[in-house]
Chain A
Amino acid sequence: MESAVPEVRQLLASVIGSDAVDSLADDDRFFDDHVIDSLQLMELVDAFQSRFGIDVSGEDLSPENFGSIAGMVQFLTSRRGTSASSG
C-alpha cells in the first residue's frame, strides 16, 4: 500500500500553502515552528474529515495525531485499518 505522506502533504498545502509545506520535514512539530496557528489547525481538521471521511473527536485532536505530518500520516493510516508501509 502507498504511504499516505503525499496525501497528507497535499491536504496541509491546501491550508498553509505548498511552499510552506515543502520546507517542512515529516517530523517537524507544527507548533514549535509556528508553521500553523490554532485556527489553521481547525481548518486542517475540517478538511481532513471531509477529504478522508474520517470523524475526528476531541480526543483524537491531539499533538500526537495532528502535531506533525508524520503524526497525521500515522493517524490516517490507523483509521483506515491498515499499517503504514514505507515508500
Chain B
Amino acid sequence: MDYAQRLDHLLRSAAERSPDKIAIESDQVSLTFGALDAAADRVAAELAGQGVRLGDRVGIHLEKSVEAVISLYGAMRAGAAYVPLDATAPPARTAYIATDCDIAALVSTPSLIAALRDVDPAAAPRGIAVGSPCPDGFTDWDEAHSQERAAPTRQTVDADLAYILYTSGSTGQPKGVAISHRSSLTFVRWAHQALDLTESDVFSSHAPLHFDLSTLDFFGSAAAGGTVALVPADAMMFPARLVEWIVEKGITVWYSVPSALTMIVRYADLEPGSLNRLRLVLFAGEVFPIRYLRELMPLAAQARFFNLYGPTETNVCTYYEVREIPSADDPPLPIGRPCENTRCEVIDESGRPLTDVGAEGELVATGTIVAQGYWGDPERTAERFQGDDSFRTGDIVQVLEDSPVPQYRFVGRRDHLVKSRGYRIELGEIEAALYSHPAVEECVAVAVPDEVIGNRLAAFCAAQQGTDSEDLGRACRERVPGYMVPEQIVVVDALPRTPNDKYDRPQLTERAARIIKERRED
C-alpha cells in the first residue's frame, strides 16, 4: 500500500486514524495528531492568504518548538518547501540563505525578523510572527490561529520539493540541498519498515531542524503514528538531566549524533540497565568511538543499536546494526550495507566499479532516496549528481564484503569537507569568513581529528601587523555558526608551502594538533 505521496499526508493519515493520540510534546505543550493537523491547516491557510503558492519556499526561523513543527507542516501543506533557518546562526548567513532561495514568507519571532531586516529586508518579506510586537507585513501567530481554517487545495506531485537544507559550501557560502517529498519518503518508508517503528514508540527529537537527522524524528513518528518529544534546552546541556528526561518521557527511539550519547556515558554515572526503556538507539553524522559505545550498550541492554550513514544529499543510504558489544581493539564501526530501497556502488577515479574485498573508492548512491540537487546551482549539481538519481558522495569507503550484500567502512574524504559535532563543514567556508577581515592576507583552516567530536578546527592566518586573533574570531562569528568557528586562530608571518607551492596543510594540521593538545592539558 502506498500510504502517502507527501510528508504532510503522513500527518493527515495519522490524524484520521488516531486524532486523540499525542503527536508531539515539548516541556511546555503537547498536541494530539488532530490538533497538530488542524494547526498546520491554519498556518497553510494564512500563508496561502499572504500569497504563498505551489513551489514557493517558506523559511522556518524559530528555535525548535511545537510552533516550528506546526509551521513546517503548514508550509508543505500550502504547497511550499520549508527551509529551516538556524535561530542561533549569525543574521548575515541566515539572510544569505533566505534570499538565495528567495523565500516567499517566513515564520519567526519579532527579534529575529528585525535582525534579518537589518541585513536585508528581502530576507524577511512577510509571514507569521510568534510573539509581539508583530512586525509590519507579518500576521501574529495567535491571530492566524484564532479560528478554524482549511488548507488551500494544491495540485501536488511527489516530485515537489519538501524542504531545502543548507550545508556548508566550499566557495564560502552555504549551499541548499533540495529534497523532494519522494526522496524524503523513500527514507521514511525504509526506516518505518527496517526499524519496525510503531505507534507505541516515543521518539526523541535531539537534532536541530536544519540538520537532516530531524526528519526521522518528525516524519518517522508521523508515519508510525507515534509520539515525538522535543529534548528541552537544559537536558541538551546536562547529561544527568537528559537521562532523567529520557526515563520520564518513556523514550523508546533515540536518534542523535554520537557525541550526545558519549556525554551520557562520560558524565551521567549510570547503572547498567538505566536506559532499559530504549528500544532503538540510532546514531549518525560521525563515527561512534568504540570505547564509549562499549560503555553505552549495557546501559540500554534491551535496545538495538544502528549506525546510519548518508550525506544530506542521500538522506540515509547505508546502515549497520551493532549486534554485540564490540571489542576494545575493533576497527571503527562499518557504515554497513545499502538500505533495502537504495543501490550503492564503489568506484575508482575513472568511474569503474570496485567490488574486491579491501578495495577503496568513492561511494555512489542511486535511487529515489537521492536529492534533486543544489538549489539554484546547476553547475555544482552536475558535478555530483549523475543521471536521474545518482549521487557521488565524495566519501571514500572500503569494501568489506561484496556479495550477497555489500558492506562498507568509511575511510575518509576526497576533498576538504570535514565533520565536527556531526555537522559537515567546508574548510573553504571558514577561510572565506576569515578573508572577510581586511587585515587577512592569506589563511588556511585545518581540522584535527578528535575522538569525541570528530574534528577540532583551527586556522592559520598571515595578516597585517598588529592583527589580533580575537578580532579574527569575532569576524568569523559574524559570518558562520558557532560550530564552524575555529577554536584556535593563529596569526603567523607566512604560511608554509610545499615544493609545488601549495599550502602545506599536513604541516599546519600537525601544528594545530600540538597547539590544541597543549591548550587542553593546560
Contact = CB atoms under 8 A, between A and B. Distances in A.
Interface of A: 14, 17-20, 30-32, 34, 36-39, 41-43, 45-47, 50, 56-59, 61-63, 66-67
A61 B237 CA distance: 10
A63 B267 contact: no
Nearest to B86: A34
A41 B267 CA distance: 11
Interface stretch (B142-150, B238-246, B307-315): B238-246
Contacts of B482: 34, 37
Interface in B483-522: 483, 519-522
B473 interface: yes
B473 A17 contact: yes
B470 A37 contact: no
A31 B236 contact: yes
Interface in B295-343: none
Given A38-B263, A45-B267, A14 B519 contact: yes
A66 B520 CA distance: 19
B88 interface: yes
A66 B240 contact: no
Interface string B5-16: 000000000000
Contact of B234 (A31, A39, A57, A58): A31
Given A14-B519, A58-B267, A38 B470 contact: no
Given A19-B470, A39-B453, A14 B522 contact: yes
Given A34-B88, A58-B267, A39 B259 contact: yes
A39 B421 contact: yes
B269 A57 contact: yes
A42 B236 contact: no
Contacts of B453: 39
A44 to B, nearest CB: 11
Given A32-B233, A39-B452, A62 B470 contact: no
A28 to B, nearest CB: 14
B266 interface: yes
B238 A59 contact: no
Given A31-B233, A38-B260, A42-B266, A58 B239 contact: yes
B474 interface: yes
B268 interface: yes
26 contacts: A14-B519, A14-B522, A18-B470, A19-B470, A31-B237, A32-B233, A36-B237, A37-B483, A38-B259, A38-B260, A38-B263, A39-B263, A39-B452, A42-B263, A45-B267, A46-B520, A50-B521, A58-B267, A58-B269, A58-B270, A59-B240, A61-B238, A61-B240, A62-B240, A63-B237, A67-B237
